[in-house]
């Protein structure tokens, strides 16, 4: 089951979070307001109280190094994985969509999207862990059978603070290039309450990714028909890293040196988002 209510103000690598959080005035930014909403896990509270009873504490001692948890979802899965059937597009929805799909493929490299998504996600995992984050992976191989709704539920139940879905794009028009981010709109009937925070997350990550890896930006866009978004209970976004149907994007995303920059750029975006906390 999911751990206790999160404190959205937890800090990443080398950072600490003071136990006392000041209330913010009306109109302060949402990112800051979210700092007041989380509570400590019951076990940690008990340990802290017990310790406080036996010794006085300085401000430094009243801090915790609890890590910020990033849930990464490498899009799709191998073409041989049997995960047929449909699932509701959101909680309680009558509309249903396929539980999973294999994604697109590099028109010039021949690389399947599910392989690229996993490759970048594993690099991102390593980069984030080096920076002091805790990472949850919805899959670590191409043979995992897990639906889009199950991925979102897993991210929440295993303790994620944010949910990053890693994908690549494809179109018939090979001239279209660049990266974009998908988030729920404020009118989303399932996760409209996550729209503002999801947009802030996506804006940080897309900007840092494009700057570091050198991809053009097509901006943050609203999508309310994505099952993996609609089932999320965390700030959520899909990063479409580039177009596998565009020669430049496809070749660059397959370049190991560029892949390192892609992972670093996403991690830079996570850093930027957490700094807002």
pLDDT of 1: 52
Taking residue 157's Cβ as centre, other Cβ atoms within 10 Å add up to 15
Instruction: State CA 167 to chain mean position distance.
Output: 11
Q: Which residues of the chain have pLDDT under 50?
A: 2, 4-64
pLDDT of 151: 97
Q: 32: number of CA atoms within 13 Å, CB side?
A: 8
pLDDT of 65: 65
User: Is pTM, for the whole model, over 0.85?
Assistant: no
Which bin fits 70, alpha (ψ -120 to 50), beta or left (φ > 0)?
beta
pLDDT of 80: 85
Per domain, the residue ranges of the chain are 17-64, 69-275
pLDDT of 84: 85
What CATH number does the domain located at 69-275 have? 3.40.630.40
Cβ distance 217 to 228 under 8 Å? no
Residues 6+ apart with CB under 8 A from 61: none
């Amino acid at each position: 089951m999911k751990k206790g209510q999160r404190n959205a103000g937890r800090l990443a690598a080398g950072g600490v979070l003071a136990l006392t959080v000041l209330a913010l005035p009306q109109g302060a930014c949402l990112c800051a307001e979210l700092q007041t909403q989380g509570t400590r896990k019951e076990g940690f509270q008990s340990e802290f109280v017990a310790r406080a009873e036996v010794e006085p504490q300085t401000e430094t001692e009243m801090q915790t190094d609890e890590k910020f948890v990033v849930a990464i979802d490498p899009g799709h899965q191998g073409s041989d994985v049997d995960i047929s059937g449909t699932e509701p597009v959101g909680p309680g929805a009558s509309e249903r969509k396929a539980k999973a799909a294999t994604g697109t493929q590099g028109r010039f490299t021949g690389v399947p999207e599910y392989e690229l998504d996993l490759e970048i996600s594993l690099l991102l995992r390593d980069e984030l862990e080096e920076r002091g984050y805790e990472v949850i992976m919805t899959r670590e191989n191409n043979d995992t059978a897990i639906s889009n709704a199950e991925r979102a539920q897993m991210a929440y139940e295993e303790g994620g603070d944010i949910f990053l879905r890693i994908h690549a794009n494809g179109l018939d028009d090979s001239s279209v290039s660049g990266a974009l981010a998908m988030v729920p709109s404020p009118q989303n009937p399932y996760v409209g309450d996550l729209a503002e925070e999801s947009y802030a997350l996506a804006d940080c990550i897309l900007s840092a990714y494009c700057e570091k890896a050198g991809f053009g930006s097509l901006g943050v866009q609203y999508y309310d028909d994505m099952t993996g978004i609609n089932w999320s209970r965390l700030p959520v976004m899909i990063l479409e890293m580039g177009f596998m149907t565009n020669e430049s994007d496809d070749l660059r995303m397959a370049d190991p040196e560029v892949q390192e920059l892609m992972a670093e750029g996403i991690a830079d975006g996570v850093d930027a988002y957490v700094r807002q906390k």
